[in-house]
Chain A
Protein backbone atom coordinates (compact mmCIF):
# COMPACT_ATOMS: atom_id res chain seq x y z
CA UNK A 1 0.00 0.00 0.00
CA UNK A 2 1.28 3.40 -0.90
CA UNK A 3 1.71 5.83 1.95
CA UNK A 4 0.36 8.69 -0.12
CA UNK A 5 -2.89 6.96 -0.78
CA UNK A 6 -3.28 6.38 2.94
CA UNK A 7 -2.70 9.96 4.05
CA UNK A 8 -6.39 10.74 4.65
CA UNK A 9 -6.77 7.56 6.68
CA UNK A 10 -3.64 8.25 8.71
CA UNK A 11 -4.93 11.76 9.40
CA UNK A 12 -8.24 10.33 10.53
CA UNK A 13 -6.56 7.86 12.90
CA UNK A 14 -4.41 10.64 14.34
CA UNK A 15 -7.41 12.95 14.78
CA UNK A 16 -9.41 10.24 16.50
CA UNK A 17 -6.55 9.52 18.89
CA UNK A 18 -6.04 13.22 19.60
CA UNK A 19 -9.77 13.83 20.05
CA UNK A 20 -10.07 10.91 22.46
CA UNK A 21 -7.33 12.43 24.60
CA UNK A 22 -8.15 16.11 24.31
CA UNK A 23 -11.88 16.59 23.90
CA UNK A 24 -13.83 16.59 27.13
CA UNK A 25 -16.83 18.67 26.14
CA UNK A 26 -19.75 16.19 26.28
CA UNK A 27 -21.69 18.09 23.63
CA UNK A 28 -18.89 17.83 21.09
CA UNK A 29 -18.14 14.22 22.01
CA UNK A 30 -21.79 13.31 21.59
CA UNK A 31 -21.90 14.94 18.22
CA UNK A 32 -18.73 13.12 17.12
CA UNK A 33 -20.20 9.83 18.31
CA UNK A 34 -23.34 10.41 16.24
CA UNK A 35 -21.26 11.34 13.21
CA UNK A 36 -19.31 8.09 13.58
CA UNK A 37 -22.47 6.03 13.90
CA UNK A 38 -24.11 7.63 10.87
CA UNK A 39 -20.86 7.36 8.93
CA UNK A 40 -20.88 3.59 9.47
CA UNK A 41 -24.47 3.33 8.24
CA UNK A 42 -23.83 5.53 5.22
CA UNK A 43 -20.63 3.69 4.30
CA UNK A 44 -22.81 0.60 3.83
CA UNK A 45 -25.52 2.49 1.98
CA UNK A 46 -22.86 4.00 -0.26
CA UNK A 47 -21.81 0.49 -1.29
CA UNK A 48 -25.35 -0.13 -2.44
CA UNK A 49 -26.24 3.29 -3.80
CA UNK A 50 -22.96 4.82 -4.91
CA UNK A 51 -20.97 1.77 -5.97
CA UNK A 52 -23.60 -0.74 -7.08
CA UNK A 53 -26.12 1.88 -8.23
CA UNK A 54 -29.13 0.40 -6.42
CA UNK A 55 -31.48 2.66 -4.47
CA UNK A 56 -32.91 1.84 -1.06
CA UNK A 57 -35.32 4.03 0.86
CA UNK A 58 -35.66 1.42 3.59
CA UNK A 59 -32.24 1.38 5.19
CA UNK A 60 -33.49 3.28 8.21
CA UNK A 61 -35.49 0.14 8.99
CA UNK A 62 -32.32 -1.99 9.10
CA UNK A 63 -30.81 0.58 11.46
CA UNK A 64 -33.91 0.41 13.67
CA UNK A 65 -34.03 -3.38 13.55
CA UNK A 66 -30.40 -3.63 14.62
CA UNK A 67 -31.12 -1.23 17.47
CA UNK A 68 -34.30 -3.02 18.57
CA UNK A 69 -32.93 -6.55 18.44
CA UNK A 70 -29.92 -5.59 20.52
CA UNK A 71 -32.12 -3.61 22.91
CA UNK A 72 -34.58 -6.46 23.38
CA UNK A 73 -31.88 -9.09 23.81
CA UNK A 74 -30.03 -7.08 26.45
CA UNK A 75 -33.00 -5.72 28.40
CA UNK A 76 -35.47 -8.64 28.19
CA UNK A 77 -33.10 -11.58 28.03
CA UNK A 78 -30.06 -10.21 29.81
CA UNK A 79 -27.82 -11.13 26.89
CA UNK A 80 -24.27 -9.73 26.97
CA UNK A 81 -23.88 -6.75 24.64
CA UNK A 82 -21.43 -8.35 22.25
CA UNK A 83 -23.58 -11.44 21.75
CA UNK A 84 -26.67 -9.24 21.34
CA UNK A 85 -24.86 -7.09 18.80
CA UNK A 86 -23.67 -10.08 16.78
CA UNK A 87 -27.14 -11.64 16.83
CA UNK A 88 -28.74 -8.36 15.84
CA UNK A 89 -26.50 -7.96 12.81
CA UNK A 90 -26.97 -11.60 11.81
CA UNK A 91 -30.74 -11.36 12.12
CA UNK A 92 -30.88 -8.16 10.09
CA UNK A 93 -28.78 -9.84 7.39
CA UNK A 94 -31.33 -12.64 7.23
CA UNK A 95 -34.19 -10.15 7.02
CA UNK A 96 -32.39 -8.14 4.34
CA UNK A 97 -31.89 -11.32 2.36
CA UNK A 98 -35.58 -12.17 2.56
CA UNK A 99 -36.58 -8.62 1.61
CA UNK A 100 -33.95 -8.25 -1.10
CA UNK A 101 -34.88 -11.46 -2.88
CA UNK A 102 -38.19 -10.08 -4.24
CA UNK A 103 -37.33 -6.36 -4.08
CA UNK A 104 -34.15 -6.49 -6.15
CA UNK A 105 -36.06 -7.82 -9.13
CA UNK A 106 -37.37 -4.27 -9.28
CA UNK A 107 -35.48 -1.41 -10.84
CA UNK A 108 -35.26 2.33 -10.37
CA UNK A 109 -38.44 3.91 -9.03
CA UNK A 110 -39.97 0.52 -8.32
CA UNK A 111 -37.03 -0.55 -6.19
CA UNK A 112 -37.29 2.77 -4.34
CA UNK A 113 -40.98 2.13 -3.71
CA UNK A 114 -40.45 -1.47 -2.68
CA UNK A 115 -37.80 -0.60 -0.11
CA UNK A 116 -39.88 2.36 1.07
CA UNK A 117 -42.82 0.05 1.67
CA UNK A 118 -40.58 -2.34 3.60
CA UNK A 119 -39.42 0.54 5.81
CA UNK A 120 -43.03 1.53 6.50
CA UNK A 121 -43.99 -2.05 7.39
CA UNK A 122 -41.15 -2.24 9.90
CA UNK A 123 -42.10 1.14 11.33
CA UNK A 124 -45.73 0.09 11.76
CA UNK A 125 -44.72 -3.23 13.26
CA UNK A 126 -42.41 -1.59 15.80
CA UNK A 127 -45.33 0.63 16.85
CA UNK A 128 -47.85 -2.17 16.98
CA UNK A 129 -45.96 -5.00 18.67
CA UNK A 130 -46.27 -3.34 22.05
CA UNK A 131 -45.39 -6.42 24.07
CA UNK A 132 -42.09 -6.98 22.32
CA UNK A 133 -41.05 -3.46 21.37
CA UNK A 134 -42.82 -1.29 23.89
CA UNK A 135 -44.87 0.27 21.07
CA UNK A 136 -44.64 4.01 20.49
CA UNK A 137 -43.02 4.61 23.87
CA UNK A 138 -40.10 2.36 22.94
CA UNK A 139 -37.55 0.65 25.16
CA UNK A 140 -35.53 2.42 27.84
CA UNK A 141 -32.74 1.41 30.20
CA UNK A 142 -30.56 -0.25 27.57
CA UNK A 143 -27.13 -1.06 29.02
CA UNK A 144 -23.97 0.57 27.70
CA UNK A 145 -21.59 -1.53 25.59
CA UNK A 146 -19.24 -3.72 27.57
CA UNK A 147 -16.88 -6.58 26.90
CA UNK A 148 -15.74 -8.51 29.98
CA UNK A 149 -14.32 -6.03 32.46
CA UNK A 150 -14.16 -3.23 29.91
CA UNK A 151 -17.20 -0.98 29.80
CA UNK A 152 -17.73 1.97 27.49
CA UNK A 153 -19.24 3.95 30.30
CA UNK A 154 -17.80 7.34 29.42
CA UNK A 155 -18.42 9.42 26.33
CA UNK A 156 -14.71 9.45 25.58
CA UNK A 157 -14.59 5.65 25.63
CA UNK A 158 -17.71 5.34 23.53
CA UNK A 159 -16.27 7.80 21.08
CA UNK A 160 -13.16 5.66 20.77
CA UNK A 161 -15.15 2.47 20.20
CA UNK A 162 -17.37 3.97 17.53
CA UNK A 163 -14.48 5.45 15.64
CA UNK A 164 -12.32 2.33 15.91
CA UNK A 165 -15.23 0.39 14.42
CA UNK A 166 -15.51 2.98 11.67
CA UNK A 167 -11.80 2.86 10.84
CA UNK A 168 -11.72 -0.93 10.85
CA UNK A 169 -14.78 -1.08 8.60
CA UNK A 170 -13.31 1.57 6.35
CA UNK A 171 -10.21 -0.54 5.74
CA UNK A 172 -12.25 -3.70 5.16
CA UNK A 173 -14.62 -1.87 2.83
CA UNK A 174 -11.78 -0.36 0.86
CA UNK A 175 -10.26 -3.80 0.47
CA UNK A 176 -13.56 -5.09 -0.86
CA UNK A 177 -13.95 -2.21 -3.30
CA UNK A 178 -10.48 -2.80 -4.74
CA UNK A 179 -10.96 -6.48 -5.36
CA UNK A 180 -12.97 -9.01 -7.34
CA UNK A 181 -16.33 -8.71 -5.51
CA UNK A 182 -15.97 -4.94 -5.25
CA UNK A 183 -15.34 -4.56 -8.95
CA UNK A 184 -18.27 -6.87 -9.66
CA UNK A 185 -20.65 -4.70 -7.66
CA UNK A 186 -19.39 -1.57 -9.36
CA UNK A 187 -19.89 -3.28 -12.71
CA UNK A 188 -23.61 -3.57 -11.89
CA UNK A 189 -23.73 0.20 -11.79
CA UNK A 190 -22.06 0.54 -15.18
CA UNK A 191 -24.11 -2.02 -17.09
CA UNK A 192 -26.00 -4.98 -15.73
CA UNK A 193 -25.93 -6.63 -19.13
CA UNK A 194 -22.19 -6.30 -19.50
CA UNK A 195 -21.74 -7.48 -15.92
CA UNK A 196 -23.70 -10.62 -16.77
CA UNK A 197 -21.59 -11.07 -19.89
CA UNK A 198 -18.48 -10.98 -17.69
CA UNK A 199 -19.72 -13.98 -15.74
CA UNK A 200 -21.10 -11.99 -12.82
CA UNK A 201 -24.26 -13.43 -11.33
CA UNK A 202 -26.16 -10.13 -11.43
CA UNK A 203 -29.08 -11.12 -9.20
CA UNK A 204 -26.79 -12.80 -6.68
CA UNK A 205 -24.39 -9.87 -6.57
CA UNK A 206 -27.23 -7.38 -6.01
CA UNK A 207 -28.54 -9.45 -3.15
CA UNK A 208 -25.07 -9.75 -1.65
CA UNK A 209 -24.44 -6.02 -1.64
CA UNK A 210 -27.95 -5.33 -0.33
CA UNK A 211 -27.42 -7.67 2.62
CA UNK A 212 -23.93 -6.31 3.22
CA UNK A 213 -25.14 -2.72 3.29
CA UNK A 214 -27.96 -3.71 5.65
CA UNK A 215 -25.34 -5.20 7.99
CA UNK A 216 -23.58 -1.83 8.24
CA UNK A 217 -26.89 -0.14 9.06
CA UNK A 218 -27.67 -2.75 11.69
CA UNK A 219 -24.27 -2.36 13.31
CA UNK A 220 -24.76 1.40 13.37
CA UNK A 221 -28.16 0.85 14.98
CA UNK A 222 -26.56 -1.33 17.65
CA UNK A 223 -23.93 1.32 18.41
CA UNK A 224 -26.68 3.95 18.51
CA UNK A 225 -28.96 2.11 20.90
CA UNK A 226 -26.29 1.30 23.47
CA UNK A 227 -25.19 4.91 23.48
CA UNK A 228 -28.58 6.60 23.68
CA UNK A 229 -29.84 3.83 26.02
CA UNK A 230 -33.30 4.32 24.55
CA UNK A 231 -35.02 3.45 21.30
CA UNK A 232 -38.42 4.23 19.82
CA UNK A 233 -39.89 3.54 16.36
CA UNK A 234 -38.77 7.01 15.30
CA UNK A 235 -35.16 5.77 15.25
CA UNK A 236 -35.51 4.27 11.80
CA UNK A 237 -38.49 5.96 10.22
CA UNK A 238 -38.78 7.06 6.62
CA UNK A 239 -37.27 10.46 7.41
CA UNK A 240 -34.14 8.75 8.65
CA UNK A 241 -33.97 6.52 5.56
CA UNK A 242 -34.11 9.61 3.39
CA UNK A 243 -31.56 11.36 5.55
CA UNK A 244 -29.16 8.45 5.02
CA UNK A 245 -29.58 8.72 1.26
CA UNK A 246 -29.04 12.49 1.50
CA UNK A 247 -25.83 11.92 3.47
CA UNK A 248 -24.50 9.62 0.75
CA UNK A 249 -25.48 11.97 -2.05
CA UNK A 250 -24.16 15.09 -0.30
CA UNK A 251 -20.94 13.34 0.69
CA UNK A 252 -20.27 11.76 -2.68
CA UNK A 253 -21.75 8.62 -4.17
CA UNK A 254 -19.21 6.00 -5.02
CA UNK A 255 -16.52 7.57 -2.85
CA UNK A 256 -15.59 5.77 0.31
CA UNK A 257 -15.07 9.04 2.16
CA UNK A 258 -18.42 10.31 0.92
CA UNK A 259 -20.44 8.64 3.66
CA UNK A 260 -18.35 10.15 6.42
CA UNK A 261 -18.35 13.65 4.92
CA UNK A 262 -22.10 13.53 4.32
CA UNK A 263 -22.76 12.21 7.82
CA UNK A 264 -20.63 14.97 9.33
CA UNK A 265 -22.27 17.68 7.26
CA UNK A 266 -25.82 16.59 7.94
CA UNK A 267 -25.17 16.15 11.65
CA UNK A 268 -23.31 19.38 12.25
CA UNK A 269 -25.28 21.63 9.92
CA UNK A 270 -28.67 21.39 11.70
CA UNK A 271 -26.93 22.01 15.03
CA UNK A 272 -25.25 25.13 13.71
CA UNK A 273 -28.39 26.32 12.00
CA UNK A 274 -30.49 26.03 15.16
CA UNK A 275 -29.12 29.52 15.82
CA UNK A 276 -31.47 30.77 13.10
CA UNK A 277 -34.44 29.28 14.95
CA UNK A 278 -37.53 29.36 12.76
CA UNK A 279 -35.55 29.64 9.55
CA UNK A 280 -33.21 26.70 10.17
CA UNK A 281 -35.03 24.22 7.93
CA UNK A 282 -35.24 26.78 5.16
CA UNK A 283 -31.50 27.47 5.22
CA UNK A 284 -30.74 23.77 5.60
CA UNK A 285 -32.81 22.98 2.52
CA UNK A 286 -31.21 25.85 0.64
CA UNK A 287 -27.71 24.61 1.38
CA UNK A 288 -28.54 21.07 0.27
CA UNK A 289 -30.18 22.37 -2.89
CA UNK A 290 -27.16 24.52 -3.70
CA UNK A 291 -24.86 21.53 -3.11
CA UNK A 292 -26.80 19.32 -5.48
CA UNK A 293 -26.75 22.07 -8.09
CA UNK A 294 -23.13 23.13 -7.84
CA UNK A 295 -21.47 19.98 -6.54
CA UNK A 296 -23.36 17.11 -8.14
CA UNK A 297 -20.56 14.72 -7.22
CA UNK A 298 -20.91 15.58 -3.55
CA UNK A 299 -18.38 16.93 -1.07
CA UNK A 300 -15.66 14.46 -2.04
CA UNK A 301 -15.77 15.64 -5.62
CA UNK A 302 -15.88 19.26 -4.52
CA UNK A 303 -12.80 18.73 -2.35
CA UNK A 304 -10.99 16.77 -5.07
CA UNK A 305 -11.67 19.58 -7.54
CA UNK A 306 -10.43 22.12 -5.05
CA UNK A 307 -7.20 20.24 -4.34
CA UNK A 308 -6.80 19.61 -8.06
CA UNK A 309 -7.14 23.32 -8.73
CA UNK A 310 -4.66 24.16 -5.98
CA UNK A 311 -2.17 21.62 -7.31
CA UNK A 312 -2.61 22.99 -10.81
CA UNK A 313 -1.90 26.49 -9.54
CA UNK A 314 1.21 25.30 -7.71
CA UNK A 315 2.58 23.56 -10.79
CA UNK A 316 1.72 26.57 -12.89
CA UNK A 317 3.69 28.83 -10.55
CA UNK A 318 6.78 26.63 -10.69
CA UNK A 319 7.98 26.84 -14.28
CA UNK A 320 9.24 23.57 -15.71
CA UNK A 321 7.49 21.48 -13.09
CA UNK A 322 6.86 18.01 -14.46
CA UNK A 323 3.28 16.85 -14.21
CA UNK A 324 4.10 13.31 -15.27
CA UNK A 325 1.67 13.56 -18.15
CA UNK A 326 -1.03 11.80 -16.22
CA UNK A 327 -4.43 12.10 -17.75
CA UNK A 328 -6.15 10.54 -14.80
CA UNK A 329 -9.45 12.04 -13.81
CA UNK A 330 -9.06 13.37 -10.26
CA UNK A 331 -12.44 11.89 -9.44
CA UNK A 332 -12.77 8.63 -11.31
CA UNK A 333 -16.22 7.78 -10.00
CA UNK A 334 -19.10 9.98 -10.97
CA UNK A 335 -22.61 10.01 -9.70
CA UNK A 336 -25.27 7.70 -11.03
CA UNK A 337 -26.43 8.39 -14.53
Chain B
Protein backbone atom coordinates (compact mmCIF):
# COMPACT_ATOMS: atom_id res chain seq x y z
CA UNK B 1 0.00 0.00 0.00
CA UNK B 2 2.89 2.34 0.67
CA UNK B 3 3.49 2.76 -3.05
CA UNK B 4 0.03 4.32 -3.42
CA UNK B 5 -0.31 8.08 -3.67
CA UNK B 6 -1.77 9.88 -0.70
CA UNK B 7 -5.19 11.51 -1.03
CA UNK B 8 -5.28 12.88 2.51
CA UNK B 9 -2.17 13.95 4.33
CA UNK B 10 -2.57 14.81 8.01
CA UNK B 11 0.60 16.44 9.30
CA UNK B 12 1.32 17.30 12.92
CA UNK B 13 -2.27 18.05 13.95
CA UNK B 14 -2.77 19.14 17.56
CA UNK B 15 -6.03 20.07 19.24
CA UNK B 16 -6.51 21.05 22.87
CA UNK B 17 -9.75 21.44 24.79
CA UNK B 18 -8.75 23.63 27.70
CA UNK B 19 -6.02 21.66 29.39
CA UNK B 20 -6.88 18.42 27.61
CA UNK B 21 -4.73 17.47 24.63
CA UNK B 22 -7.24 15.61 22.46
CA UNK B 23 -4.79 15.37 19.56
CA UNK B 24 -1.03 15.73 19.82
CA UNK B 25 1.08 16.02 16.68
CA UNK B 26 -0.95 13.43 14.84
CA UNK B 27 0.27 12.56 11.34
CA UNK B 28 -1.58 10.04 9.19
CA UNK B 29 -1.46 9.50 5.46
CA UNK B 30 -4.48 8.03 3.75
CA UNK B 31 -3.70 6.24 0.48
CA UNK B 32 -5.94 6.91 -2.48
CA UNK B 33 -8.54 4.20 -2.92
CA UNK B 34 -7.83 2.53 0.42
CA UNK B 35 -9.87 1.82 3.47
CA UNK B 36 -7.77 3.34 6.22
CA UNK B 37 -9.04 2.71 9.71
CA UNK B 38 -8.35 4.72 12.81
CA UNK B 39 -8.72 2.78 16.03
CA UNK B 40 -8.07 3.52 19.66
CA UNK B 41 -9.70 3.35 23.08
CA UNK B 42 -12.54 5.64 24.15
CA UNK B 43 -11.44 9.23 24.33
CA UNK B 44 -8.37 8.62 22.17
CA UNK B 45 -9.30 11.53 19.90
CA UNK B 46 -10.77 9.70 16.90
CA UNK B 47 -13.93 11.80 16.64
CA UNK B 48 -11.89 14.93 17.25
CA UNK B 49 -9.71 13.94 14.31
CA UNK B 50 -12.76 13.54 12.06
CA UNK B 51 -14.11 16.89 13.30
CA UNK B 52 -10.83 18.57 12.44
CA UNK B 53 -10.62 16.91 9.03
CA UNK B 54 -14.19 17.83 8.10
CA UNK B 55 -13.89 21.46 9.18
CA UNK B 56 -16.05 21.25 12.31
CA UNK B 57 -13.09 22.06 14.54
CA UNK B 58 -10.04 24.20 13.85
CA UNK B 59 -6.79 22.50 14.83
CA UNK B 60 -4.38 24.43 17.06
CA UNK B 61 -1.53 23.50 14.76
CA UNK B 62 -0.72 21.24 11.84
CA UNK B 63 -2.02 20.98 8.30
CA UNK B 64 -4.42 18.82 6.36
CA UNK B 65 -4.05 18.29 2.65
CA UNK B 66 -6.74 16.89 0.40
CA UNK B 67 -5.56 15.99 -3.08
CA UNK B 68 -2.47 18.07 -2.50
CA UNK B 69 -4.34 21.24 -1.53
CA UNK B 70 -4.20 22.54 2.03
CA UNK B 71 -7.72 22.63 3.51
CA UNK B 72 -6.89 23.39 7.14
CA UNK B 73 -9.26 25.95 8.64
CA UNK B 74 -11.81 25.83 5.82
CA UNK B 75 -15.50 25.71 6.71
CA UNK B 76 -17.31 22.37 6.84
CA UNK B 77 -19.52 23.07 3.82
CA UNK B 78 -16.52 24.12 1.76
CA UNK B 79 -14.66 20.92 2.61
CA UNK B 80 -17.65 18.84 1.52
CA UNK B 81 -17.62 20.67 -1.79
CA UNK B 82 -13.93 19.89 -2.12
CA UNK B 83 -14.75 16.19 -1.90
CA UNK B 84 -14.60 15.05 1.70
CA UNK B 85 -17.87 13.90 3.28
CA UNK B 86 -18.59 12.45 6.70
CA UNK B 87 -21.06 10.68 8.94
CA UNK B 88 -21.56 11.24 12.66
CA UNK B 89 -20.94 9.02 15.66
CA UNK B 90 -24.46 9.75 16.89
CA UNK B 91 -26.54 9.55 13.73
CA UNK B 92 -27.74 13.00 12.68
CA UNK B 93 -30.45 12.48 10.11
CA UNK B 94 -32.89 15.22 9.15
CA UNK B 95 -35.60 13.65 11.26
CA UNK B 96 -38.69 15.38 9.93
CA UNK B 97 -37.79 14.84 6.28
CA UNK B 98 -38.33 11.63 4.37
CA UNK B 99 -35.53 9.13 3.93
CA UNK B 100 -35.40 9.98 0.21
CA UNK B 101 -35.30 13.72 0.89
CA UNK B 102 -32.40 13.17 3.28
CA UNK B 103 -30.34 11.70 0.47
CA UNK B 104 -31.51 14.44 -1.89
CA UNK B 105 -30.11 16.98 0.57
CA UNK B 106 -26.83 15.16 0.15
CA UNK B 107 -26.81 16.23 -3.52
CA UNK B 108 -26.74 19.88 -2.43
CA UNK B 109 -23.03 20.28 -2.95
CA UNK B 110 -23.20 19.05 -6.54
CA UNK B 111 -26.28 20.95 -7.76
CA UNK B 112 -26.94 24.61 -8.35
CA UNK B 113 -30.65 25.49 -8.23
CA UNK B 114 -31.17 28.76 -6.37
CA UNK B 115 -34.26 30.32 -4.81
CA UNK B 116 -35.59 32.06 -7.90
CA UNK B 117 -35.07 29.10 -10.19
CA UNK B 118 -36.70 26.80 -7.65
CA UNK B 119 -39.71 29.09 -7.11
CA UNK B 120 -40.37 29.36 -10.85
CA UNK B 121 -39.63 25.71 -11.62
CA UNK B 122 -37.57 26.59 -14.66
CA UNK B 123 -37.06 23.69 -17.10
CA UNK B 124 -33.43 23.20 -16.06
CA UNK B 125 -34.56 22.98 -12.45
CA UNK B 126 -37.07 20.27 -13.26
CA UNK B 127 -34.40 18.24 -15.00
CA UNK B 128 -32.00 18.68 -12.10
CA UNK B 129 -34.71 17.71 -9.64
CA UNK B 130 -35.43 14.51 -11.58
CA UNK B 131 -31.74 13.66 -11.73
CA UNK B 132 -31.32 14.25 -7.99
CA UNK B 133 -34.32 12.06 -7.22
CA UNK B 134 -33.03 9.25 -9.42
CA UNK B 135 -29.58 9.43 -7.92
CA UNK B 136 -30.98 9.41 -4.39
CA UNK B 137 -33.11 6.37 -5.18
CA UNK B 138 -30.07 4.60 -6.57
CA UNK B 139 -28.05 5.29 -3.44
CA UNK B 140 -30.88 4.14 -1.19
CA UNK B 141 -31.03 0.90 -3.16
CA UNK B 142 -27.28 0.52 -2.77
CA UNK B 143 -27.42 0.76 1.04
CA UNK B 144 -30.59 -1.35 1.17
CA UNK B 145 -33.08 1.31 2.19
CA UNK B 146 -35.14 1.54 -1.01
CA UNK B 147 -38.21 0.23 0.78
CA UNK B 148 -38.12 3.00 3.39
CA UNK B 149 -37.74 5.89 0.94
CA UNK B 150 -40.96 7.65 1.88
CA UNK B 151 -40.78 7.13 5.64
CA UNK B 152 -39.66 9.96 7.88
CA UNK B 153 -36.01 9.59 8.74
CA UNK B 154 -36.71 9.83 12.46
CA UNK B 155 -39.02 6.83 12.28
CA UNK B 156 -36.51 4.27 10.96
CA UNK B 157 -34.32 2.20 13.30
CA UNK B 158 -30.96 3.58 14.37
CA UNK B 159 -29.08 1.00 12.30
CA UNK B 160 -30.96 2.15 9.20
CA UNK B 161 -30.25 5.77 10.10
CA UNK B 162 -26.54 4.96 10.00
CA UNK B 163 -26.92 3.50 6.50
CA UNK B 164 -28.95 6.55 5.53
CA UNK B 165 -26.10 8.77 6.68
CA UNK B 166 -23.73 6.84 4.43
CA UNK B 167 -26.09 7.17 1.43
CA UNK B 168 -26.50 10.87 2.15
CA UNK B 169 -22.75 11.40 2.36
CA UNK B 170 -22.23 9.48 -0.89
CA UNK B 171 -24.73 11.77 -2.60
CA UNK B 172 -22.20 14.58 -2.29
CA UNK B 173 -19.88 12.56 -4.59
CA UNK B 174 -16.98 12.50 -2.18
CA UNK B 175 -13.46 11.47 -3.04
CA UNK B 176 -12.98 10.66 0.66
CA UNK B 177 -15.61 9.35 3.02
CA UNK B 178 -15.06 9.77 6.77
CA UNK B 179 -17.10 7.29 8.84
CA UNK B 180 -17.39 7.64 12.61
CA UNK B 181 -18.30 4.26 14.09
CA UNK B 182 -20.81 3.17 11.43
CA UNK B 183 -21.17 -0.27 13.02
CA UNK B 184 -22.17 1.00 16.47
CA UNK B 185 -25.54 -0.48 17.36
CA UNK B 186 -25.58 -2.93 14.43
CA UNK B 187 -25.96 -6.68 14.99
CA UNK B 188 -23.51 -9.20 13.56
CA UNK B 189 -25.41 -9.71 10.33
CA UNK B 190 -25.90 -5.98 9.77
CA UNK B 191 -22.21 -5.42 10.46
CA UNK B 192 -21.26 -8.01 7.86
CA UNK B 193 -23.46 -6.29 5.31
CA UNK B 194 -21.93 -2.96 6.26
CA UNK B 195 -18.49 -4.43 5.58
CA UNK B 196 -19.62 -5.52 2.12
CA UNK B 197 -21.08 -2.09 1.48
CA UNK B 198 -17.83 -0.39 2.43
CA UNK B 199 -15.83 -2.69 0.14
CA UNK B 200 -18.35 -1.89 -2.59
CA UNK B 201 -17.83 1.83 -2.00
CA UNK B 202 -14.08 1.40 -2.18
CA UNK B 203 -14.44 -0.48 -5.46
CA UNK B 204 -16.13 2.62 -6.84
CA UNK B 205 -12.90 4.49 -6.24
CA UNK B 206 -13.91 6.26 -3.05
CA UNK B 207 -11.33 6.40 -0.30
CA UNK B 208 -12.66 5.56 3.17
CA UNK B 209 -11.33 6.64 6.52
CA UNK B 210 -13.05 4.44 9.05
CA UNK B 211 -13.21 5.06 12.78
CA UNK B 212 -14.53 1.89 14.37
CA UNK B 213 -14.47 -0.15 17.56
CA UNK B 214 -15.60 -3.41 15.92
CA UNK B 215 -12.20 -5.08 15.51
CA UNK B 216 -13.47 -7.92 13.36
CA UNK B 217 -14.84 -5.47 10.83
CA UNK B 218 -11.71 -3.31 10.95
CA UNK B 219 -9.33 -6.26 10.51
CA UNK B 220 -11.50 -7.70 7.72
CA UNK B 221 -11.72 -4.73 5.41
CA UNK B 222 -8.90 -2.29 6.20
CA UNK B 223 -5.89 -1.80 3.98
CA UNK B 224 -4.15 0.27 6.61
CA UNK B 225 -4.76 0.93 10.27
CA UNK B 226 -3.61 3.82 12.41
CA UNK B 227 -3.81 3.56 16.20
CA UNK B 228 -4.50 6.55 18.42
CA UNK B 229 -4.00 6.59 22.16
CA UNK B 230 -4.44 9.66 24.36
CA UNK B 231 -4.34 11.86 21.31
CA UNK B 232 -1.11 10.41 19.94
CA UNK B 233 -0.71 8.23 16.92
CA UNK B 234 1.20 5.26 18.31
CA UNK B 235 1.27 2.75 15.48
CA UNK B 236 0.32 2.18 11.90
CA UNK B 237 0.41 -0.73 9.52
CA UNK B 238 -1.58 -3.47 7.85
CA UNK B 239 -4.14 -5.39 9.91
CA UNK B 240 -1.65 -8.23 10.37
CA UNK B 241 1.08 -5.86 11.53
CA UNK B 242 -1.25 -4.12 13.95
CA UNK B 243 -2.51 -7.39 15.39
CA UNK B 244 1.09 -8.49 15.96
CA UNK B 245 2.32 -5.21 17.43
CA UNK B 246 3.09 -5.57 21.12
CA UNK B 247 2.59 -1.82 21.63
CA UNK B 248 -0.91 -1.97 20.29
CA UNK B 249 -1.79 -5.07 22.24
CA UNK B 250 -0.55 -3.38 25.39
CA UNK B 251 -2.46 -0.13 25.06
CA UNK B 252 -5.49 -1.20 23.11
CA UNK B 253 -6.32 -4.77 22.27
CA UNK B 254 -5.20 -6.04 25.63
CA UNK B 255 -7.54 -3.66 27.31
CA UNK B 256 -10.79 -5.34 26.37
- Contact of B20 with A by CB under 8 A: no
Residue numbers in A under 8 Å from B101 (CB-CB) = 183, 186
Question: A164-189: contact bitstring with B at CB < 8 Å (1 yes, 0 no)?
Answer: 00000000110110111111101101
Q: Please, how many residues of chain B have a CB less than 8 angstroms from a CB on the other chain?
A: 51
Contact B132 A180, beta carbon cutoff 8 Å: yes
Interface residue tally of chain A, by bracket? 35 or more
Between A172, A197, A333, A337, the greatest number of chain B beta carbons within 10 A of the residue's beta carbon is seen for A197
Contact B151 A328, beta carbon cutoff 8 Å: yes
The A interface, classified by DSSP as helix, strand, loop or mixed, is helix
Contact B88 A172, beta carbon cutoff 8 Å: no
> Closest CB of chain A to B111's CB: distance in Å?
5
Contact A329 B152, beta carbon cutoff 8 Å: yes
Give the residue of B88, B114, B125 whose beta carbon is less than 8 angstroms from that of A193. Answer: B88
- Contact of A286 with B by CB under 8 A: no
Given A175-B119, A182-B118, A199 and B80 contact (CB-CB distance below 8 Å): yes
Question: How far apart are the CA atoms of A176 and B115 in the complex, in Å?
Answer: 7
> Closest CB of chain A to B110's CB: distance in Å?
8
* B132 to A, closest residue via Cβ: A180
Residue numbers in A under 8 Å from B92 (CB-CB) = 190-191, 193-194
Given A175-B118, A191-B92, A328 and B150 contact (CB-CB distance below 8 Å): yes
Give the residue of B109, B113, B114, B132 whose beta carbon is less than 8 angstroms from that of A198. Answer: B109
Given A180-B111, A181-B118, A190-B96, A197 and B105 contact (CB-CB distance below 8 Å): no
* B109 to A, closest residue via Cβ: A199
A191-224 interface with B by 8 A CB criterion: 191, 193-202, 208, 212
Residue numbers in A under 8 Å from B96 (CB-CB) = 186, 189-190, 254, 332-334
What residues of chain A have their CB less than 8 Å away from a CB belonging to chain B?
172-173, 175-176, 178-184, 186-187, 189-191, 193-202, 208, 212, 254, 326-329, 332-334, 337
What residues of chain B have their CB less than 8 Å away from a CB belonging to chain A?
54-56, 75-77, 80-81, 85-86, 88, 92-98, 101, 104-115, 118-121, 125, 128-129, 132, 148, 150-155, 165, 168-169, 171-172
Q: Top 6 closest A-B pairs, CB basis?
A: A199-B109, A190-B94, A179-B118, A199-B80, A196-B76, A194-B92
